[in-house]
Amino acid sequence: MRFLCLHGHGTNSQILEAQLEPLRSRLPRDWEYEFLDGEKETIPATGIDAVFPGPYVCYHEEPIPEDVQHAVDLVKEVIREEGPFDGVIGFSQGAALAATVIAAEAERDPLAETFKVAIFLSATMPFDFSAGKLRLTCEADNTLTATHQDIDGTKLDGGKQDWLNDCRTAGVIAEFQARRPQVEKSALPQSVDVLLRYHPSTHPQQIDIPTVHVIGLKDEYLDHGKNLAGICNSRIQQVVTHDGGHQLPREGATVSRVAEAIQWAVDRMLFHN
């Protein structure tokens, strides 16, 4: 088994390698792991700089279509040059990127099999290239507006949808709002184009390979983890919950349960194929 491993926002491959060590020690020794660093420097994830040195990187910041596409292309390039890989392991943003790649390839070619198994750890939701984009604008009076457009910038849906509160904009609006205090009033209005996320209410099943979903019950992205499981084939998935937050489980028995779930998914992969 060969796995491509994708880290979270504000960390790096060495950090993910250290975080995965307790889990890897419970998996077959002949399995191989290739770690891919993001190319954008960023601020460290909360508390990570107190434990691990930088640089701290990410695959993209806000989900601007061109930036997410660049991250997807980076993964595809590694697959071409160093693959094939049997599976992918992604933490947080790395899980979202892995799922974005898998879902986009499945839409392009239903028979495509970028990976045969996927392990999603503390995942955030993947982005949907086929749904157009959302233009977020902070107006001169400091109000926020959202307009749905196709990829070429043509307005869609006649403005009837409340995109500021739509399930497919989960987290995206909050991230844009967090930047607003930093914007000088003289710079308003200010706009950014972002992608929409997948959601099980609009995309019931996008990922049809064996998957494992590791979800912290105190994770601020708890709903993301559940929703990602919701767009994967429920017959060939395992969901492992733990009492922690946005982190890999540390308690030995829980780590062992994750290892067992991964082995189960690999067995399903062999049967599925």
The model's confidence at residue 272, banded by pLDDT at 50, 70 and 90, is low
Q: Of 197, 227, 250, which residue is a domain's last? A: 197
- Selected residue with higher pLDDT from 263 and 203: 263
Same-domain pairing of 78 and 60: yes
Annotate 207-267 with DSSP letters as a single string: B-S-EEEEEETT-TTHHHHHHHHHTB-GGGEEEEEES-SSS---SHHHHHHHHHHHHHHHH
Same domain, 79 and 95: yes
Examine the domain organization and report whether 119 and 13 are in the same domain: yes
Domain with residue 224: its CATH number is 3.40.50.1820
Do both 27 and 121 map to the same domain?
A: yes
pLDDT band at 128; cut points 50, 70, 90: very high
User: Among 2-11, 159-168, 174-183, 260-269, which is the least confidently predicted range?
Assistant: 174-183
Same domain assignment for residues 207 and 184: no
State residue 179's pLDDT score.
57
Q: Please give the structure tokens belonging to residue 17.
A: 């390698």
The pLDDT value given to residue 92:
97
* pLDDT single digits (tens) 167-191: 888 778 777 766 555 555 555 567 8
Query: Which residue's structure tokens are 């969901």?
Result: 239
Give how many domains the chain has, as a whole number.
Answer: 2
Whether 7 and 70 share a structural domain: yes
Reply yes or no on whether the pLDDT at 140 is more than 80: no
Cα-only R_g, the chain? 19
Which domain does 91 fall in, by range? 2-126+200-272
Q: Which pLDDT score is estimated for 3?
A: 99
C-alpha 66/C-alpha 94 separation (Å) is 17
- Decide which of 197, 232, 252 is a domain's last residue: 197
* Closest by Cα among 74, 77, 99 to 87: 99
Q: Are residues 81 and 209 in the same domain?
A: yes
Last residue of a domain, one of 150, 169, 197: 197
Residues 141, 266: one domain?
A: no
Q: Residue 103: phi, psi to the nearest 5?
A: -65, -40
Shared domain check, 219 and 113: yes
**Do both 21 and 154 map to the same domain?**
no
20-46, pLDDT tens digit by residue?
999 999 999 999 999 999 999 999 998
Same domain? 28 vs 142: no
Q: What are phi and psi of 218, to 5 degrees?
A: -110, 15
* pLDDT, position 170: 73
* Residue 140 neighbours by CB under 8 Å, 6+ apart: 185, 188, 189
CA 16 from centroid of its chain's CA atoms? 15
pLDDT-above-70 percentage for the chain: 93
16 and 84 share one domain: yes
Tokens of 205: 């099943």
Q: Does residue 165 register a pLDDT over 90?
A: no
pLDDT digits (tens, 9 = 90+) for 217-238: 999 999 999 999 999 999 999 9
pLDDT of the residue at 107: 85
Who has greater pLDDT, 159 or 53? 53
Cα 71 → chain centroid = 11
